[in-house]
Structure 1
């Protein structure tokens, strides 16, 4: 099966994860794709292909004869899609991009003024959304590329390769993809996540990340008699937001620049709950950002009274660079694999996080991130070039070749 056909099959499964669910996985429908993938891997001939009770899919592609001594290498992608935009009832479209603005089938379009990098794809086949949902290339493109690479290697036993450990995780988009990863089912001490963006990108640096939950307790009094009595929690929350540096938001930062990002606010005069995230590549600056938020809350409690602002600040993941520096051969090998198939590698920092960051820190499995070829993830403008997915299959084959 070609990688495109496989990808289109995978995106027909709704695998949206949930930020509010406490179940594992956070949505039961992720297991539907998991069962399909486990069956597919078993049919192809991978060993011990199965989905465990928590929705993780594992399988092993054995080494070719004579290569059993070469250390195994892991390939990991996630099955879930972001809850930011609907991932149900996806209707992907394959179009040949001729340049200019690209109308989507039902609503909206990819505008050059918004996405000037589109010019790189003139003449290529792009898989796009119909404008009503995300596409699911994050990360079903990665899943399709891994499965297709395994299928190719099984069909070409003349290509010597090491043992390949495969894992597809649920709930990566809500930060839980590594929670229940089982190393006993994964015979590799080093791995790659295939979960990145445009073709050529290799990433071994990601944000340090923390999550903020701020509960603001106000005092609601009838507005007719509220003078010197009301404490409007909505305005109090606004005061907290006003203390955050205006230029240090996602819309004003790039590259290695960190940020504060208020993601949602809900409530009324009596109580408001605010969620935000803190990000920075530099650990020292990351800690300073957390201290800034703690000091802001301490200041506001001094203004409004102790207990008016209740802060919960929790670290989410850390920059995997520290864990990758002793294993830079993983980066060198990825660059060599790309160049071998005509792709120029580009090492870039991740302005986010991956399962690989947590596996590097928590499971001692160094795990840099490779591109999938897709772009504009988590929105209706998401797309993936067919040629980029095909190239990534070739890259993965080269990467495990002995």
Structure 2
């Protein structure tokens, strides 16, 4: 576990935060810092066909050690961290033999990771936890996945007695801003199917995710002296607030769970003459997803009739529910399930309340369920990952490779 830990700590201290407002790929230059480091490491552990393209997509191969043809499988993780919270100057803290009590992340700021609020912590008593120092996110999403894939490949290189077919691995930029698979070369990757190592707690196995879209609501106003504003002023801030009041009050992330969809306003800015609402739309059901997009259009039309044509809406689809592409090849889920069960891990099969590169890749011809990477509380200062969970993820990767080879006659 020491090599796995040192690898992970090295990755998370490299800032790779992505930028949704950038038009380049990768969206930030700093993602190249980790990308170049990973390419060197892949060569060092003995992988072949190591490549990195002009957009920082990394691919590599562990050749088959069999004398028969078996499916080529892949494992994929992303290099970037979320723009929602700082990924600069990450200073991981290591808590050995966690005793189930509060963890003080930052004494000066009184930031505490407490099991009274984050109950999942109690599952990990006696284990080694890696946390933040309260000032940044950690980056287990998805640098834990990268560390696990590389460690598993290194283990297979060092243990040729474990039989496996050809294995392809890939690391992508910009997953956190919905672009991780946009420039992924599925044909070059050449796998029959793959798994993203991008889930949370031990046992997670997911092949269903949200349908997703982003939306921008832009409001134009007219500024007039408030003393003489009657029937003249058009206050863009007020109209933006009116727009938000027409969205379903309870259909937001903080009031939904399971298969329930939502609208999530993540940015609101404005002045009298101009206001903008940035939000995302999520729903597992395709019809409900379409209805949510139509609601934004209908509200826009309604308020334009009331206030004059002052509102414009832009809606952009981001990714779709991969279930329809995975179910026809469901044996790829069953192999992962068997791998977990053989290691004493209880599979937790549930829909993802989010997205993953695998959702886009599945529609690009690469069926791609998602497997746990071990972390919790992603995208914020309370993020943590148990080292033992990462080790189990490594074992699952190795076992999937072994099972895939052994089940093909």
Equivalent residue number for residue 301 of structure 2: 298
- 1:105 is displaced (CA, Å) by 4.2
Equivalent residue number for residue 124 of structure 1: 127
Answer whether contact 2:77 2:170 (CA < 8 A) is retained.
Answer: yes
- 1:227 is displaced (CA, Å) by 1.3
Cα distance per residue 1:111-163 (max 9 Å; x no partner): 22321221111111100000000000000000000000000000000000111
Q: How many residues align?
A: 399
Equivalent residue number for residue 11 of structure 1: 12
In the alignment, the residues of structure 2 paired with residue 52 and residue 212 of structure 1 have an alpha-carbon distance, to the nearest angstrom, of 31
- 1:224 is displaced (CA, Å) by 1.4
Answer whether contact 2:204 2:349 (CA < 8 A) is retained.
Answer: yes
Work out whether 1:24 is the aligned partner of 2:25.
yes
Equivalent residue number for residue 135 of structure 1: 138
Alignment of 1:13-92 (within 5 A): 13-67=14-68, 69-92=69-92
Work out whether 1:236 is the aligned partner of 2:239.
yes
**Structure 2: which 5+ residue stretches go unaligned?**
none
* RMSD of aligned residue pairs (Cα, Å): 1.0
Alignment of 1:208-357 (within 5 A): 208-306=211-309, 308-357=310-359
Equivalent residue number for residue 116 of structure 2: 113
Give the TM-score, by structure 1 length.
0.98
Answer whether contact 2:186 2:366 (CA < 8 A) is retained.
Answer: no
In the alignment, the residues of structure 2 paired with residue 158 and residue 112 of structure 1 have an alpha-carbon distance, to the nearest angstrom, of 42
The SS at the match of 2:129 is strand
Answer whether contact 1:39 1:50 (CA < 8 A) is retained.
Answer: no
Answer whether contact 1:63 1:164 (CA < 8 A) is retained.
Answer: yes
Answer whether contact 1:42 1:48 (CA < 8 A) is retained.
Answer: no
The SS at the match of 1:215 is strand
Equivalent residue number for residue 175 of structure 1: 178
Give the TM-score, by structure 2 length.
0.96
Moved over 2 A (4+): none
The SS at the match of 1:41 is helix
**Structure 1: which 5+ residue stretches go unaligned?**
none
Cα distance per residue 1:330-388 (max 9 Å; x no partner): 11111111111111111011011111000111x11100100101000000000000100
The SS at the match of 2:28 is coil
